[in-house]
Amino acid sequence: MFGNRGFSLVELMVALVIFMIAVLGMAPLLVTHIRVNAQNQLGASAQDIAVEEMNRLQVMNYPGLAAVSPAATTERSLYSLQRIIEGDQPGTDQTRITVKVNWSHQGATKNYQLVAVRTAQ
């Protein structure tokens, strides 16, 4: 006598079909998660590049800042770093420093921008 121990093959197949439907329903979420994660990593790297450049410009002495090329673009692998230094902006003896990092991801151009104002001391 066999009794009622275990599962039949039909029960296992039904459970497998239900499991596969659930997994296939979650597959688009996984793809979206991977895409968003890659986009966030690119944005974080762009932010690091911009902060590094802004810190470099902020620690320069004020006369040395005037000697830096006022509008320069540098290519860094996936990123384009642009710095804009505007003397006497927004007021006299002040300099506006803008650092912008551009990159492309999935055909769209993204950017990250930092702006600071330095005062002559």
Q: How many domains does the chain have?
A: 1
Nearest to 111 by CA among 119, 102, 120: 102
DSSP bridge partners of 116: 97
In a domain, 32, yes or no: yes
Q: Binning pLDDT at 50, 70 and 90, where does residue 2 land?
A: low
Q: What CATH number should be reported for the domain holding residue 53?
A: 3.30.1300
In a domain, 93, yes or no: yes
In a domain, 3, yes or no: no
Q: What is the pLDDT of residue 14?
A: 95
Q: Binning pLDDT at 50, 70 and 90, where does residue 3 land?
A: low
The rounded percent of the chain whose pLDDT value lies above 70 is 97
In a domain, 19, yes or no: yes
> Which residues form the domain of 65?
9-119
Answer yes or no: are the C-beta atoms of 116 and 95 closer than 8 Å. no
Nearest to 100 by CA among 73, 78, 76, 82: 82
